[in-house]
Amino acid sequence: MSPVSGSGRLVLAATPLGDSKDASTRLVEALADADIVAAEDTRRLRSLAAALGVSPGGRVVSFYDAVESARLPGLIEAMHGGSTVLLVTDAGMPSVSDPGYRLVAACITEDLPVTCLPGPSAVTTALAVSGLPCDRFCFEGFPPRKSGERRRWFAGLEAEPRTCVFFESPHRLADTLADAVAVLGPDRRAAVCRELTKTYEEVRRGGLAELAEWAADGVRGEITVVLEGAAPAAPGADLATLVAEVRQRVEDGERMKAAAAEVAEAAGVSKKTLYDAVLAAR
């Protein structure tokens, strides 16, 4: 279907992660020209606008999680009346673990045009600097807050072959990485990206156990974690065959943990997955 005649439109705009100089020229123009600017935090928007040397030309309204649903009817009505609504969040791309999805879905239902001003994204920025494979990846938002649920969440990623990117708050990072070690093992590689593009940007790379030990001392700032995907199993090496090999080596006098680690490494499978399978088969 074609857009409603005479309708306005929704413009999603990526905002800088930290350095205002990452803002695009199109973002500056959009801030000046939009009839309505819907912002996750209006104070941060005005600070960004001041840094960019632009004044929002239209009405500024708040658009954060708690008011998102209540704001939808008014914004949709304004767009039907011909207004351009510019949606910005605190940093990065709207809708990516930030407000925006519901508004986009509502615009599509109402046959209103939706466009995007591309720009900074913590997901792709962290992925690019992580040193982990970037050819295939998935984004998982925020892990659950409770340890039990978080461990089940990590269990769902245990066999995921793609590099995984997720966000975490600084005060939960240490516990989250400890849970990752418990489920995925100490050696699974990861990168913790802190304060991307800001003055104190830091990227820590290493095994999960090493990163968990580092985070235990406390971490500050905006956090994005990049997690290595599971190693693919070697062709023809099914789990039952590997379990049988480990059990035979144990019968021959080797320690089970050491045997499982060597067989897993040679086959290119998760050490923990194989070790748990051997335990279950006893």
Phi, psi angles (nearest 5°) of residue 257: -65, -40
DSSP string, 76-123: HHHHHTT-EEEEE-SSB-TTSSSTTHHHHHHHHHTT--EEEE----HH
Residue whose C-alpha is closest to residue 171's, from 145, 195, 193: 145
Domains and CATH numbers, the chain: 9-120 (3.40.1010.10), 123-227 (3.30.950.10), 239-281 (no CATH)
DSSP string, 3-50: PPTT--EEEEE-B-SS-GGG--HHHHHHHHH-SEEEES-HHHHHHHHH
- Report residue 238's pLDDT band, with 50, 70 and 90 as the boundaries: confident
98 vs 92: CA distance, rounded Å? 9
> Which residue is associated with the tokens 């767009």?
79
203 vs 222: CA distance, rounded Å? 12
147 vs 176: CA distance, rounded Å? 8
pLDDT > 90: percent of the chain: 81
43 vs 45: CA distance, rounded Å? 5
Across the strands, what pairs with 226?
A: 165, 191
User: Is 80 exposed, middle or buried, given 0-12, 13-18 or 19+ CB atoms closer than 10 A?
Assistant: middle
pLDDT at residue 6, as a whole number: 53
pLDDT tens digits for range 18-31? 999 999 999 999 99
Of the two residues 232 and 239, the one the predictor is more confident about is: 239
pLDDT tens digits for range 201-219? 999 999 999 999 999 999 9
Residue whose C-alpha is closest to residue 223's, from 250, 247, 202, 249: 202
Cα–Cα distance list, 58 to 54, 169, 251, 259 (Å): 12, 33, 76, 67
pLDDT tens digits for range 144-180? 999 999 999 999 998 899 999 999 999 999 999 999 9
Does residue 1 carry a pLDDT above 50? no
Residue whose C-alpha is closest to residue 165's, from 132, 198, 200, 207: 132
pLDDT at residue 180, as a whole number: 98
99, 105, 110, 112 alpha-carbon torsion, rounded to 10° = 70
Query: Which residue type occupies 113?
Result: P
pLDDT tens digits for range 55-108? 999 999 999 999 999 999 999 999 999 999 999 999 999 998 889 999 999 999
183 vs 185: CA distance, rounded Å? 6
pLDDT at residue 235, as a whole number: 52
Longest dimension (CA), the chain: 80
Residue whose C-alpha is closest to residue 222's, from 90, 27, 44: 90
- Report residue 3's pLDDT band, with 50, 70 and 90 as the boundaries: very low
pLDDT at residue 4, as a whole number: 43
**Averaged pLDDT score across all residues of the chain:** 92
pLDDT at residue 265, as a whole number: 82
The pTM assigned to this predicted structure is 0.78
